[in-house]
């Protein structure tokens, strides 16, 4: 059989011709051998064009273009080759979710089309389709349980639970990346880490579950980043990844409800999940639409701004606007909040490491992620520590505390 990626040689084509001689039709070959119909049609077409069918009858949909006779030295005919040309090709079916982006044709000396290549590209999926996939994936989820408000909480405190680059769906092979990682491991890692984090954080009246982008590793079935088209190693089909991501967020929200009076949820988009982040937000909005203690901020912007007394907070993923730009952007976008506050911070993700700058009275920082590195990050030599963290602010005095839960790395032997 032909080797993948190489052009078919005459021996490969003659193998298919022999099958055609034996069974008499393509339908019969498919029925008895399970061969792929289009592969058979393509090979027989090539064989016909190269004149390899000998004295076989004209194929359905073909016409004789030339006959070549081979004679021995004594003048007897030893072989006759019938070269055939397709009258017209099979009707092309555009794959689901694709549209035709271009057509290339190979034209012979007689100006007839010998072969044709049709290029397609994936259509941009409507957001409603993505939301539908989430709703289907979460079909068995029941209404949120009734969780009583905490007995005591501190009204002047607000705690931000940083959800930084969870990359749900990331797949890593230990010998290549240093540690095995998949969705099962993600749940076993993130769920207990968030439980410990909430348990160790102060009983602030207000909690904020703040997604800094790249909640999902891939934004759809293509398993590649939308802008750079970098291929991604993904564990599982897209609806399963969506379901797991929302499950992890629901777990975090309901942990927060046990500790805090009210919970604000904001999930920002990243370069890995531009569309899915919005759809996840809508799914959470539907789940908590009648909940009197949970507010899901469904603003589709790539920026988040929030004022709490003397504290002014912002957030973005960090793949587009960079750290040095954010203090001025903060002041420009929200001048009234800027002027009325004393303590200002902007949180970012994207780089998977703890970095920061302080400019114009604004602290801008990025955070570690709890997930293992994938093959690309391993190949680039990235080796950051892993953790989840929370930041607690006092409405008068600004940041008053942080809690960090480290993810212990277990290298694959």
- Where does the pLDDT of residue 327 fall: very low under 50, low under 70, confident under 90, or very high at 90 and above? very high
Structure tokens at 126: 């409507």
CA of 100: how far to CAs of 94, 129, 152, 367, 380, in Å?
A: 7, 21, 61, 42, 36
Q: Are residues 98 and 239 in the same domain?
A: no
Q: Is the pLDDT of residue 403 over 70?
A: yes
Give a yes or no: residue 412 inside a domain: no
Do 236 and 322 lie in a common domain? yes
Selected residue with higher pLDDT from 374 and 201: 201
Same domain, 266 and 381: yes
Asked whether residue 56 falls in the same domain as residue 136, the answer is: no
Say whether both 108 and 199 belong to one domain: no
Choose among 209, 373, 189, 220: nearest CA to 281: 209
Lowest mean pLDDT among 216-230, 281-295, 356-370: 216-230
411 falls within a domain:
no
Q: Which of 71, 91, 111 is the last residue of a domain?
A: 91
Q: Which of 241, 259, 126 is nearest to 201 (CA)?
A: 259
Of the ranges 30-39, 76-85, 266-275, the best mean pLDDT one: 266-275
The answer to whether residue 413 is domain-embedded is no
Q: Could you tell me if 141 and 135 are in contact, meaning their C-beta atoms sit under 8 angstroms apart?
A: no
Q: CA–CA separation, 55 vs 27, rounded Å? A: 21
Q: What proportion of the chain, given as a percentage, has pLDDT over 70?
A: 74
Measuring CA to CA, which residue among 363, 376, 373, 374 is closest to residue 402?
A: 363
> Is 202 inside a domain boundary?
yes
Mean pLDDT for 173-181 is: 90
Q: What's the pLDDT tens digit per position in 133-156?
A: 666 655 555 555 667 778 778 999
Q: What does the pLDDT average to over 306-333?
A: 97
Tell me which residue of 397, 313, 380 sits closest to 348, measured CA to CA. Answer: 313
- Do residues 148 and 166 both lie within one domain? yes
pTM: 0.69
Instruction: Give the H/E segment covering residue 337.
Output: helix 335-339
Find the domain containing 399 and state its range.
127-406
Q: CB under 8 Å to 124, separation ≥6 — which residues?
A: none
Asked whether residue 109 falls in the same domain as residue 53, the answer is: no
Q: How far is the C-alpha of 270 from the C-alpha of 150, rounded, in Å?
A: 33
Q: Is the pLDDT of residue 308 over 70?
A: yes
Q: Between 7 and 215, whose confidence is greater?
A: 215
SS (H, E, C) 51-117: CCCCCCCCCCCEEEEEEEEEECCCCCEEEEEEEEEECCCCCCCCCCCEEEEEEEEEECCCCCEEEEE
Count up the domains in the chain and report the number: 3
């Amino acid at each position: 059989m032909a080797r993948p990626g190489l052009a078919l040689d005459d021996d490969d084509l003659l193998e298919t011709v022999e099958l055609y001689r034996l069974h008499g039709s393509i339908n019969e070959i498919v029925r008895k051998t399970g061969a792929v119909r289009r592969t058979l049609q393509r090979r027989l077409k090539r064989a016909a064009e190269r004149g390899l069918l000998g004295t076989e009858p004209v194929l359905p949909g073909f016409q004789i273009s030339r006959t070549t006779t081979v004679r021995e030295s004594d003048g007897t005919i030893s072989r006759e080759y019938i070269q055939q040309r397709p009258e017209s090709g099979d009707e092309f079916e555009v794959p689901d979710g694709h549209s035709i982006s271009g057509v290339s044709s190979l034209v012979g000396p007689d100006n007839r089309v010998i072969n044709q290549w049709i290029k397609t590209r994936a259509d941009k999926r409507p957001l409603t389709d993505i939301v539908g996939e989430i709703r289907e994936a979460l079909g068995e989820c029941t209404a949120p349980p009734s969780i009583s408000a905490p007995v005591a909480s501190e009204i002047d405190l607000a705690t931000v639970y940083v959800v930084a680059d969870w990359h749900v769906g990331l797949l890593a092979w230990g010998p290549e990346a240093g540690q095995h990682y998949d969705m099962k491991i993600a749940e076993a890692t993130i769920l207990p880490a968030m439980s410990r984090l909430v348990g160790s954080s102060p009983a602030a009246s207000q909690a904020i579950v703040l997604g800094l982008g790249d909640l999902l590793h891939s934004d759809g079935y293509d398993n590649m980043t939308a802008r750079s088209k970098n291929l991604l190693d993904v564990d599982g089909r897209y609806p399963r990844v969506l379901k797991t991501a929302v499950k992890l967020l629901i777990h975090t929200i309901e942990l927060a409800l046990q500790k805090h009076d009210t919970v604000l949820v904001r999930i920002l988009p990243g370069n890995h999940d531009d569309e899915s982040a919005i759809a996840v937000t809508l799914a959470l909005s539907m789940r908590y639409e009648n909940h009197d203690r949970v507010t899901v901020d469904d603003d589709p912007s790539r920026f988040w701004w929030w004022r709490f007394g003397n504290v002014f907070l912002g957030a973005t993923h960090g793949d587009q606007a960079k750290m040095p730009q954010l203090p001025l952007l903060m002041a420009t976008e929200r001048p009234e909040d800027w002027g009325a506050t004393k303590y200002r911070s902007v949180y970012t993700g994207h780089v998977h490491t703890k970095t920061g700058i302080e400019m114009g009275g604004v602290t801008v920082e990025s955070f570690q992620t709890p997930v293992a590195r994938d093959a690309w990050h391993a190949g680039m030599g990235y080796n950051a520590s892993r953790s989840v963290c929370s930041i607690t602010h006092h409405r008068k005095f600004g940041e008053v505390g942080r809690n960090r839960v480290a993810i212990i790395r277990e290298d694959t032997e």
